[in-house]
Every structure is written in structure tokens, then in C-alpha cells.
């Protein structure tokens, strides 16, 4: 599984990148065949509360899933986006099994 992290208009700290890597790796437990995970981070202007946006795209054979969330911290945004993606992956898996 390849993980690409893109921070738009700022440099993500090593700590944040390590957090993302750790969280994203957990997705492999839900779905074995994930090819690529693309994470894009950006600070939404103006400087206000809830201005950290994380968008996550999961690419699997023949399909892809996307979620983005905005919160006070990137960690919260990533957690919420990954929760949404986990639900999407589980639904997709159930549909595949019922075929």
C-alpha cells in the first residue's frame, strides 16, 4: 500500500505525517487490496476555528473512495475522514460478498 501525503501551502510536521501513516495503516485490516491512499491537507482561509481540512482518497482495484473533513486540528479531521472511509469500505465489502 502506497501512502502519499500532500500538504498544500504549508509543511506538515514529521509528527503529523507519522500520525497519518499510523492511522492509514489500520485501513488494511478492513480491506486487503488497497493500492494507494492519498492524503491532502490544507488550511482553509480565513484564519478561523475549524480551518484544518483533510481529504483522503483510497484507491482499490476498480474503485475509489473519498472523504474530507474540516476541524480545529488535522488529527481530528483525519480521524473523522478515516471513520467515514471505514464505513464506505465496509459497505463496499458487504456488497461484494452478497454478489
| Ranges assigned E (strand) in the chain | 2-8, 36-43, 52-60, 63-71
How confident is the model at residue 42, as a pLDDT?
95
Q: What is the count of structural domains for the chain?
A: 1
Q: What is the reported pTM? A: 0.93
Q: 61-87: per-residue pLDDT in tens?
A: 999 999 999 999 999 999 999 999 999
Range of the domain at 62: 2-98
Q: Tell me, what CATH number does 33's domain have?
A: 3.30.160.100
Read off the DSSP letter of residue 13.
P
Whether 10 has a pLDDT exceeding 80, the answer reads yes
Residues contacting 43, CB < 8 A, separation 6+: 9, 10, 51, 52, 53
Amino acid at each position: 500500500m502506497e501512502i502519499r501525503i500532500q500538504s498544500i501551502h504549508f509543511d506538515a510536521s514529521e509528527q503529523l505525517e507519522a500520525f497519518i501513516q499510523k492511522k492509514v495503516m489500520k485501513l488494511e485490516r478492513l480491506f486487503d487490496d488497497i493500492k494507494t491512499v492519498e492524503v491532502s491537507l490544507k488550511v482553509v482561509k480565513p484564519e478561523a476555528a475549524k480551518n484544518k481540512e483533510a481529504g483522503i482518497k483510497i484507491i482499490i482495484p476498480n474503485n475509489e473512495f473519498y472523504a474530507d473533513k474540516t476541524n480545529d486540528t488535522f488529527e481530528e479531521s483525519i480521524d473523522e475522514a478515516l471513520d467515514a472511509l471505514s464505513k464506505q469500505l465496509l459497505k463496499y465489502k458487504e456488497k461484494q460478498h452478497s454478489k
